Amino acid sequence: MVGFLNGALKWSVKHGSGADGDARLHLAFARAYRTRGDLGVCQQYYAKSRTPDEFAEVLQQYIPKTLPSEHDLVIARAVLLYVEENHCIGNGIDYCLF
C-alpha cells in the first residue's frame, strides 16, 4: 500500500497538486503508518494532510505511551511540524492555526 501511495504522491506533485502533493494522499499515508504503529512517521504526514482534528486525536492516543517527561516534547514537535509543513512562517501562524 505504501509503495502505491508513494507513486501517487510523486505523480500529484508532478501534475499540479502543489509542491507537497495532494493533502488527501498525505492523509492516506498518515493513516497507513498509524495502522503500522509508526507514529513518528505518521506525524509528518498528518502535518501535511490538513486534518488537524485527526492529528490531535493521534497525539492524544500517542502521549500516554510516552514518558511523562516527554509529553510536552511530543506536543511541541507536532506544532512545529504543522507550522513548517503548512508554510506558516511566511503566512503568519494565526492564519495557519485558526
- 0.75 exceeded by the pTM? no
User: CA 64 to CA 85: how far, in whole Å?
Assistant: 25
DSSP 8-state assignment for residue 64: G
Q: What is the pLDDT of residue 87?
A: 66
SS3 state at 79: helix
Give residue 27's domain range: 2-97
3-state secondary structure of 63: helix
Instruction: Check: CB of residue 22 under 8 Å from CB of residue 49.
Output: no
Alpha-carbon distances, residue 40 vs 18, 26, 46, 91 (angstroms): 24, 14, 10, 26
What's the total number of domains in the chain?
1
Please provide residue 17's backbone torsions phi and psi, each rounded to the nearest 5 degrees: -95, 25
Q: What is the pLDDT of residues 33-73, one digit of tens each?
A: 899 988 888 898 898 888 889 999 999 988 998 999 999 99
Nearest Cα to Cα of residue 75 among 49, 52, 91: 52
